[in-house]
């Protein structure tokens, strides 16, 4: 009998379109797993029980009528709270809004058009400000590998829903590592795509040049399937990526012999990687060498991303806070962050965006000598939950530094970057490395990640009851 908790996107599509199971049965099983597993983990802020069942029945009816199935036909997918789903409140992880969205955001619309079933909304810290999925209104979200530990953030609810086997895939967002950090903490594959690869419509941008949306999955192929369904820009988007090659095709293609540079040097000053992460990078470098790649240690000569990142961070939070219906319901820390960001006037934001281009040019110099950069995904092991308890903006920012130490620079630069699982550490929690690619070159990362996945398979789900 098929274990649906371990079935991925591709598996689920095959089961439903092949007539082995109905979409209704797949969705019903996912809802049962959510009911059984989520109370101890807090991945979902809202489960769309009736809506998901009705949508699954529509998928079954379409298939029975002879309508060609979409590439995600019958797949239950969870959506991070910052994305619009028609009929639900876009909460941004808090209580600032109370009116349901009238229409799906474009990413959600594309998921439905591809045959997916939207099963619920997932927890996040308010406005995704910090890489720990904790909030005053939603409570603490826990890592399914160890419930005393954080799953990271800000897409922590999505990561937990997928890692715990509640759904095959979920959508997150990444403005400073928020797809890669929870993927690394929960044993998932998480690719931050090139800036502008995935539309942010109906919004023109997500934290200006920093943010993008994308899936968290248990396999490289599953990620590619979802990306091929949702990628592409809209006229309203502030940014657009180049190239249109199929991500699914890239997964099935041998990457060839690549020049791969590795480094454990952190971008953030004063941050030292955990020895387990250094070992993971070195072990991965040896595996890649055995696969025939030209692998060598490099110094990336990272530029300081702070002048570009910090103004966009504050401006992004302020822009989202200005749009909510009930500013007074925002968390105390969020309102403090809002006040602290008052110095980011339009001329300062314009200056920061100009700095973004300069930092991107300098960060990309490493790719004059290598095709892919290999680094740790995060610096620390997933810390205990409660990282945001009783702390203000400045202390929360300091606690966030080990999480974003290797990730945030690639939001500023715009490059694609992926968190790739590489087994478990001695503490029983997942290990991961980060692969960074050239501008617009997700396909090389996908081919290389798939090669690593075949050579060194990783656990598919956390060992939850």
Catalytic (active-site) positions: 80, 154, 178
Helix (H, G, I), strand (E, B) or coil at 231: strand
Nearest in space to 223 (alpha carbons), one of 250, 196, 260, 257: 250
Report d(CA 259, CA 305) in Å as an integer. 25
Exposure of 389 by Cβ count < 10 A (0-12 exposed, 13-18 middle, 19+ buried)? exposed
Tell me the helix, strand and coil percentages in the chain, rounded to 5: 40, 15, 45
Give the DSSP letter string of 45-83.
EEE-HHHHHHHHHHHHHHHHTTPPPPTTTT-EEEEETTS
Helix (H, G, I), strand (E, B) or coil at 311: helix
Report d(CA 145, CA 417) in Å as an integer. 24
Exposure of 152 by Cβ count < 10 A (0-12 exposed, 13-18 middle, 19+ buried)? buried
| H or E element in which residue 249 lies | helix 247-251
CB 312 within 8 A of CB 341: no
For β-strands 294-297 and 259-262, DSSP reports them as parallel
**What order do you get walking across the sheet with 44-47 strand by strand?**
44-47, 117-122, 76-80, 169-174, 212-217, 189-192, 417-424, 430-437, 372-376, 259-262, 294-297
Structure tokens at 24: 């209704």
Report d(CA 175, CA 197) in Å as an integer. 14
């Amino acid at each position: 009998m098929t274990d649906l908790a371990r079935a991925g996107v591709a598996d689920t599509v095959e089961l439903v379109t092949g007539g082995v199971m109905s979409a209704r049965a797949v969705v019903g099983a996912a809802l049962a797993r959510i009911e059984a597993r989520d109370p101890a983990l807090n991945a979902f802020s809202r489960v769309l029980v009736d809506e998901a069942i009705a949508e699954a029945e529509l998928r079954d009816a379409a298939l029975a009528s002879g309508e060609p199935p979409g590439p995600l036909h019958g797949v239950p997918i969870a959506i991070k709270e910052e994305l619009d789903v028609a009929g639900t409140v876009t909460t941004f992880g808090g209580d600032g809004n109370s009116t349901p969205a009238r229409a799906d955001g474009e990413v959600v619309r594309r998921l439905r058009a591809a045959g997916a079933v939207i099963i619920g909304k997932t927890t996040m810290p308010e406005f995704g400000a910090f890489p720990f999925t904790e909030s005053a209104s939603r409570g603490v979200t826990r890592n399914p590998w160890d419930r005393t530990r954080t799953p990271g953030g800000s897409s922590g609810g999505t990561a937990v829903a997928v890692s715990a086997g509640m759904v095959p895939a979920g959508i997150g967002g990444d403005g400073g590592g928020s797809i890669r950090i929870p993927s690394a903490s929960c044993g998932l594959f998480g690719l931050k795509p090139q800036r502008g690869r995935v539309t942010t419509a109906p919004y023109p941008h997500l934290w200006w040049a920093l943010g993008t949306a994308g899936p968290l999955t248990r396999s490289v192929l599953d990620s590619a399937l979802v990306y091929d369904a949702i990628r592409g820009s809209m006229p309203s988007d502030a940014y657009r990526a180049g190239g249109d090659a199929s991500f699914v095709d890239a997964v099935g293609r041998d990457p060839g012999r690549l020049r791969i540079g590795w480094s454990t040097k952190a971008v953030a000053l004063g941050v030292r990687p955990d020895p387990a992460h250094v070992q993971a990078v070195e072990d991965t470098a040896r595996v890649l060498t055995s696969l025939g790649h030209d692998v060598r240690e490099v110094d990336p000569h990272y530029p300081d991303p702070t002048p570009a990142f910090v103004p966009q961070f504050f401006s992004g939070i302020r822009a989202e806070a200005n749009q909510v219906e009930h500013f007074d319901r925002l968390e105390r820390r969020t309102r403090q962050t809002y006040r602290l960001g008052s110095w980011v006037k339009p001329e300062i934001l314009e200056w920061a965006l100009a700095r973004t281009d300069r930092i991107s040019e300098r960060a990309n110099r490493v790719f004059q000598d290598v095709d892919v950069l290999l680094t740790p995904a995060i610096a620390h092991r997933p810390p205990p939950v409660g990282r945001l308890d009783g702390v203000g903006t400045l202390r929360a920012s300091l606690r966030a530094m080990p999480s974003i130490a290797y990730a945030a620079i690639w939001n500023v630069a715009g490059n694609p970057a992926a968190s790739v699982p590489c087994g478990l550490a001695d503490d029983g929690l997942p290990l991961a490395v980060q692969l960074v690619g050239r501008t617009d070159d997700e396909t090389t990362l996908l081919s290389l990640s798939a090669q690593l996945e075949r050579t060194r398979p990783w656990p598919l789900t956390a060992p939850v009851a």
